[in-house]
Structure 1
C-alpha cells in the first residue's frame, strides 16, 4: 500500500500490477515509495483503475503499462472527459487514454477477481481474492462509502454494498483512508449506514 498524499488515492501494488495511480501530482513520492518495495515505474506491466476519477487515474500517464478499467468507465478515459473523470473539479484536464482491457464482472487479475460495484461511478470495481478486498471508492473503513453525487447513483451503491456484505473480507484496502483488518465488519457498518440515506 502506498498511502495517498494530498488529493491522491491510495495506491496498491502486487506482483507487476498497480491498482490506481493517484493524481500524478506527487510522482516523486510515488517513485520513492515504489523504490522502497524494490520496484521502479518500468517494472509495472499493468495498471488497474478501480474507477475513472482523476484522483485515481491522473498518474496513469507516467507508466508505459497496459491499462485496465471496467467497460462502463472506459469511455470517460478514452475521451478525456473532464466531467466524468472529475478532472474539472481538481482544476485539471486529462488527456485521452487508450484502454487495453475493458473489465467485466468475474474477470481475473492475478489472484484477484473483478467485482463490479457501481454507485460511486457507473463502472466502479473492487478486487477480491477470498481474503482481501481492494475497494476503490465503493466502501471505506469505519462505515464510509463513496459519494454518489458526481456521476454515481445511490440505488446502485446500496446494491453494491449489499453485494459486498455477503463476502468474507479479512483485509479492507480502500481508495482513501486507512486499510483495516476485520474488513467485513466495516463493510457491514457501511451497508447499514447507507440504508439511512
Structure 2
C-alpha cells in the first residue's frame, strides 16, 4: 500500500499529504512555509526533493504554497486549471496570485490518470475540477468528503448535483481510510463516513 504522511493544516492551510517521499498533495494557503518545510524535514524530505505537487482543487488554501516548490511539476484537473491559469480570484475563492508560482499548471489531470499507486477520480461538486486520489484502500479526498459525514461547500464554483453524484460514485469504493482536505483523518471505516455524507445531502 501507499506511504501517506499526514501534515495537518495550520491556520488557513488545508491538510497536506506526502506520498512516496516525492509527491505532495496540496500545499496549503502559502502563509506558513516554515511549518510546512519543518513537517517535510521531520519525515526526511527536503523541499527540493518534491518532484510533483498535486492540487485536489483550485481553492487558495490548497494551492497557495505551490510557489514554494519551483522545481516540482504542478498537476491539477483540467477544469480547475482554467481558474489557476487565469488567476481567477472568484474561482479560487481568494487571491493566491501575489506569486506567479501559484498560477502555474504543468499537468492537466483527467479522470482515470495515475499518480504513483493512486488513480485520479474526478469528483466535481466543491469545484468543477475537484479530484480524489484512490489506491484501493486509501482515499485522499480533498474537500469532497470530510470525517463525520461532511462535504465541501458548494457556493464557490461548486454544484449540488455534481456533489451528490460524486459522493454516490465514491460509495461504490471499498474505502478503508479517508485523508480529507481539512480536519481529522478517518481510519478503518471510511466507507461509513461516505454513506453518511450521502445521506445528509
If the length of structure 1 is used for normalisation, what is the TM-score? 0.94
**1:86 corresponding residue in structure 2:** 93
Kindly report structure 1 stretches of 4+ aligned residues shifted beyond 6 Å.
none
Matches of 1:136 and 1:104 in 2, distance apart?
A: 16
What is residue 28 of structure 2 aligned with on the other side? 22
1:1-197 paired onto structure 2 within 5 Å: 1-15=6-20, 16-64=22-70, 65-88=72-95, 93=98, 95=100, 97-181=103-187, 182-194=189-201
* Structure with greater proportional strand content: 2
- Separation (CA, whole Å) in 1 of partners of 2:50 and 2:178: 23
Structure 1 stretches lacking a partner, 5+ long? none
Contact residue 120 and residue 131 of structure 2 kept, 8 A: yes
Deviation at residue 97 of structure 1 after TM alignment: 2.1
Structure 2 segments unaligned to the other structure (5+ residues):
1-5
The CA deviation at 1:99 is 1.3
- RMSD of the alignment, in Å? 1.3
* In structure 2, C-alpha distance between the alignment counterparts of 1:10 and 1:87, rounded to whole Å: 18
Mapped to 2, the partners of 1:14 and 1:135 lie a distance apart of 14
The CA deviation at 1:190 is 0.3
- Give distance in 2, aligned partners of 1:170 and 1:93: 39
